[in-house]
Amino acid sequence: MTKKVNLILLIIGLIAFNFSSVEAQESQSITAASWSDGDYKWWKSNYSSFYLNKEADKLKMEFIKNDKGEVIEVKRNGNSYYIDEEGKSDFARYYKSSSEWCLFFKKNTIIIFKGGHDNIKIVGCIKSKCKSSDKEYIENWLADTEKLQTDDIEKYNKKVAEENDLTEQKKRDQYSIEGKSVASLEVVNLVVPEKFGHYRNFSFDIKAILNDGTEITTGDGNGYISDYEISYGDINYVGYQVEGEIIDADKITISVVSKYNSSLKTTKDVIIKYNENLKFSWNGTSWSRSEGENASSYKIEIKQTTHKITSEDLLMYRITNINTGSLIAEFKIGIDHTVLFYCKGGNGGVEDYVGNNGGDGGNITVIKDPNVKYYNLSYENHGGNGGDGEYNNKDGKDGRDGSFKEETRPVKF
């Protein structure tokens, strides 16, 4: 008799367990459907206890349902909450707002929470007070039910990827020149800034004209820049800007070749204007708790030349770090424009109320070719400021100012 009773109890327990498990894994969209529109009392939380809210005695709750009777949107005093993976999964684990507040439904309580779902904070509860165990209950429930959405989300992502691939293929079929009969190519919509020299960029599009007269253009025309091999001759046009090196031809030649037919090609010249000031800063580093860094010393060589296309007077500059012997930059600039050059010592910081010394400024040596009529160089190479000590005149010393000298002798580039 005892064995039969135990067996019956075991069966009842298994049935109860399975019912509890199914109930626990019920989508929130179904649980929320048992609630009705109306005004509900609510309790605020100070994270240690709950108290009936006095600012607004009741909350207006509205439940918007789909054709299946499931809740797809909850409004709390007009503020909307949507299921956590809306559109991706039919299983709702909670409802989320546009802010950090979320809603979780039990049969007799709506719990307002925020924070990470493995460490939530209960903000309040609607209709009845929360239990002390509700925080752990929600965290466990969210963890246990997350896997129920996995398959749905994977299917959703796969569907979106397939749709995107199909859309992209349709676009390529229409706008890529691959597989099409192309008559010619052109560089169009060339935009060169008014001030255009070193460290500047420009933009352009490529137009393909098909044998039937159809035009396919990159940019707003939806054409693919990846259909073309683009080069700029020997010019170091890195990161889409003219780098610091001498450009003999004073122009950049854009060369475009079809990836699918090497005989389809076109070119376009971009004339470099060299018509703006250039600024270089190689100051010693300033530190908050140690001595300022010394600036390096520099040699600046200058030679005059003329623009190969416009015949305007230009100056060629070559800047070398004397300390390391490394070339810093080579460039051209209009003769009426200014090179601003900074190699100041870094400022000293303060440590343990004692000021640190400032770094020394760098020495500048200008070597100009005899053909240089004049040049505009504005420089700053003073020493860095010493740190201000907090007491007993413990200020750091200012760094030494760098020197400046000019020599005239032949310069070769």
Give the number of domains in the chain: 3
In a domain, 320, yes or no: yes
Rounded CA separation 367/44 (Å)? 77
By mean pLDDT, which of 134-143, 326-335, 344-353, 389-398 is the weakest? 389-398
In a domain, 231, yes or no: yes
CA-to-CA separations, 192 to 168, 183, 200, 248, 270, in angstroms, rounded = 31, 27, 9, 19, 8
How much is the pLDDT for 27?
93
Token reading at 92: 């709702």
pLDDT of 21 above 70: no
For every residue of 161-186, DSSP letters joined together read HHHHHHHHHHHHHHH--TTS-EEEEE
- The pLDDT-based confidence of 18 (bands split at 50, 70, 90) is very low
Same domain for 204 and 266 = yes
Token reading at 241: 């800007």
Taking residues 250-260, what's their average pLDDT?
96
Q: In what helix (H) or strand (E) does residue 298 lie, and over which residues does it extend?
A: strand 298-306
How much is the pLDDT for 394?
81
In a domain, 388, yes or no: yes
Asked if 73 and 81 count as a contact pair (C-beta separation under 8 A), the reply is: yes
How much is the pLDDT for 81?
97
Same domain for 286 and 374 = yes
Taking residues 185-208, what's their average pLDDT?
95
Same domain for 343 and 282 = yes
By mean pLDDT, which of 41-45, 106-110, 192-196 is the weakest? 41-45
Q: ∠42-46-49 over CA atoms, to 5°? A: 75
In a domain, 6, yes or no: no
Rounded CA separation 310/250 (Å)? 9
In a domain, 74, yes or no: yes
Same domain for 375 and 294 = yes
Same domain for 304 and 257 = no
Same domain for 103 and 197 = no
Contacts of residue 57, Cβ cutoff 8 Å, sequence gap at least 6 = 41
In a domain, 404, yes or no: yes
How much is the pLDDT for 250?
95
- pTM of the complete model: 0.68
pLDDT of 7 above 60: no
Same domain for 358 and 283 = yes
Same domain for 353 and 389 = yes
In a domain, 16, yes or no: no
By mean pLDDT, which of 100-109, 147-156, 343-352 is the weakest? 147-156
Domain containing 201: what range?
182-271
Asked if 126 and 42 count as a contact pair (C-beta separation under 8 A), the reply is: yes
Q: Which of 236, 271, 306 is the last residue of a domain?
A: 271
Q: Which of 243, 271, 299 is the last residue of a domain?
A: 271
Same domain for 400 and 363 = yes
How much is the pLDDT for 9?
42
By mean pLDDT, which of 49-53, 112-116, 325-329, 407-411 is the weakest? 49-53
Same domain for 284 and 266 = no
Q: Which of 271, 293, 324 is the last residue of a domain?
A: 271
Same domain for 392 and 320 = yes
In a domain, 17, yes or no: no
Same domain for 206 and 144 = no
Token reading at 380: 């700053």
Bigger pLDDT: 7 vs 210? 210
pLDDT of 234 above 90: no
Q: In what helix (H) or strand (E) does residue 160 lie, and over which residues does it extend?
A: helix 134-175
